[in-house]
Every structure is written in C-alpha cells, then in structure tokens.
Amino acid sequence: MSLDDTLPDASAGVGPIRAAPRDGAASLRLQLYEAVRAEGRVSRASLAKALRVSPGSVTPAVADLIGAGLLREVADAAPASGRGRPPVTLAVEPGAALVAGLRLSDREHTAALIDAAGRTVASASAGRAPGDGTVAALVEEAGALLDRLLATAGVAIGAVRAVGVGLPGLVEHGSGTLRWSPIAEGTDAPLAALLSDRMGVAASVDNDTNLLTVAELWFGKGRGLSDFAVVTVENGVGMGLVVGHATYRGARGVGMELGHLCVELDGALCRCGRRGCLEAYVADYALEREAGPDLPEGEIVPLLEARMAQGDPVAGAVLEKAARYLALGLGNVSNLFDPRHVILSGSRSRWSPADAATLAAAVAAHTLSAPPPIEVNAWDDLIWARGAAALALSDATPGLVA
C-alpha cells in the first residue's frame, strides 16, 4: 500500500472558497490552481464560470499545470444510465509538494507535514524542553521537532518545500522578526533566519493565533467567509482577522493583539509587563491568580466550574468577572472591525454553542450596532500546526505554479 492510499480523500478541498475571482495581479495559472484546490474536484467548464474567463483560456493553462505535475484528471463515477464516458474533473496532485508546520508553546510543541492537497501526512509532538529560555534554545527545540516529524514520515528534508512556524507574542511575518514572546527571552530576534539555518529549508514565522486563523480559513468554518475574526482564550488571549479571504496583520505584521488591549487603567499585571490588559483578566494564568494558591493541577476552567457547581463563591466570581471582561473585549472587536462572524476557536475550547449565545448577548451591551454572530469551533491539538503548514503552503504556492 502506498502512502497516498492511506490518506483521507481530498475531494472536499481546502483553502478559501471565493465567490468571485481574486483581485490584483494573480496570474490565471495561480487562480486556476487555487480554485481547484479549494473545490477539491471541479470541471474545466465550472472553473471558467467561477473565474469569469473563457473556456478557451482555461484549456491551455490547465494543460500546462497538468504537464507540470501540479494538477491531475480524475474520472468521476459513471452516469447512472451506464451510457457515455464518466465525467472528468480536475484535482490537485498531492505529491507535488510537501510542507511542514510547527506550533511552539509554553507547554507542548506540535508539528504537521501536509501535502499539496492539504492532507496531513504525518504529525509529531514534544514537551517543552527544560533549558535556558533563550531564542537559541527555542530554535534548537523547533529543529529537533522537525527532525522527529520527518523521521516519522520517512521523508528527507530535501523533499520539504517550506516550513511555517508559529508561537505566541509579537511576530513580524514579513520580516521574520520575533519582537517579543512570553516563551523566549530577549527581543527583536531574526527568528525566521535562525530557523532556516537550523532546519536547512526556508522558514516563515507568525503569531500562533494567526496560524489558527489560517486553519479556520483553510479547513474550518471560515472557508466560505470573506471576513471574520478568530478569538482564542487559553494561557493567553489571541485574535486573528481575515479581510477579503486573506489574513490581515497590520502595517508591521504585529496587529490584532486583542489580549493586550487595555481594559482597565492601572489594572491587573499582565505577563507582557503592562497593566490592565484583557488577558490579565481572562487567560488561564489570570484565573489561577484570582482563584488562589490552593487550586489543584488541571485545566483551570473545568476546575473552577466544578467548584462553582459545589457552591464555591470565589470560583463563581472569578468566572463571572472573566466573562464580563471577555464580553467587553469582543464588543471592542465588533466596534472596530465589524466582522461577519466571530469564531471562538482553539484546541482547548471552553465554550459550547449555548455559552456562545450567552456571550453574544453580553457583547451586545458594548456595541453600537448589532454584534456579529459568535460561533464555536473546537479542534484537536494539531490544528495550530496544520495552520502553520497551510501558511507555508500558501506562501509557497505562487512559486510552485509560476
């Protein structure tokens, strides 16, 4: 059995589903390739209609992409009548590229290897290694994790086209600079260059919540949405924003830091060193600080909920206060960006649909107009790494089809 036979079918497609052709200077080849990847399987006629171009211009471009080993023809099921040839559709050639994604965190690092069709080929994880906390040590941990991932897949580094890496903090995707992170000492490190040197392949870096946002855009609830916000609350508070089917990062690539929005002047101390940040009231470390030193080991929110159910007034007050501050933060998001949807996402989602409805009602008190719908999308721990790999694949695609 080949590796390709063990992978899930990619006929559902991955990546943004656009209602109209891309604006800007994207070539027809690139638009065709991305449209096929998004649809999974699609006919030439449907491609021409979706991209609003003539079938005559689609045919030679598709032939070039097939000749380059980037697309392939797939025979669909025979007609029910049994007459005529089975219709032929186009699909991405999965083996055309492999990319890797790594998510680095304060607890556990995860990694995923995906093919050109967005299917996960292999995964790996590693606990945070005890070390000196420097950027150099973090780079070595990332390199060791990539080595483990490739060994699991039986793939050499030369087969990997690019690597995407995400971590919490202020990360400039464009320049590859780590301005600050709670999981590494120092500031203004050329992280992408350091990772590329250690790994032997081009690496790009981004804030980890941006990776989660890319995952929603490629694999999740955001595939058909032109704009939406992703918010995650774990040991920090993160936000990602999609505008026009693309991740928006701000002028310097370090925007959308919802967790460090000031909600209380001279308020609680945040791990960034400032006071009054939103995450200083709603993140896991903030809840642990509020709940007191006798809290047992475990996920903080379920522990507090269990205590609240037993009548503990402190636990109830901590959770109620955090909910009020989170509603305030989401109200500010609504007022500033007016997204179509807000997706509460992550691998340790603490919400149910009912919780989201309650939160949406509280958010309305802080908005000037009707707040956006709030949805919940809980993932497994690998989603951050898959988002990192999707980022690498997105960045590599223009060069792949050029």
| pLDDT-wise least confident of 289-298, 317-326, 387-396 | 289-298
Domains along the chain with CATH numbers: 3-93 (1.10.10.10), 96-213+383-401 (3.30.420.40), 224-378 (3.30.420.40)
Position 34 pLDDT exceeds 80: yes
Residue 250, pLDDT > 60, answer yes
The string of pLDDT tens digits covering residues 342-376 is 999 876 666 677 778 888 899 999 999 999 999 88
**In the predicted structure, residue 220 carries a pLDDT above the cut 90:** yes
The arithmetic mean of pLDDT across residues 235-250, rounded, is 92
Confidence at residue 3, expressed as pLDDT on a 0 to 100 scale: 38
d(CA 265, CA 275): 7
Question: Measured between alpha carbons, how far is 107 from 95 in angstroms, rounded to an integer?
Answer: 33
Asked if pLDDT for residue 2 goes beyond 50, the answer is no
- pLDDT tens digits for range 41-70: 999 999 999 999 999 999 999 999 999 999
* Mean pLDDT score, 87-107: 94
Q: For position 6, what pLDDT does the model report?
A: 40
Q: Identify whether the C-beta of residue 93 lies closer than 8 Å to the C-beta of residue 3.
A: no
* Burial of 344: CB neighbours in 10 Å, binned 0-12, 13-18, 19+: buried
- The pLDDT of residue 8 is 45
pLDDT computed for residue 60 by the predictor: 96
Mean pLDDT, rounded, for 73-93:
74
Q: Would you list the DSSP string of 341-370?
A: -EEEEETT----HHHHHHHHHHHHTT-SSP
Rounded to the nearest integer, the mean pLDDT of the chain is: 90
- pTM, two decimals, is 0.88
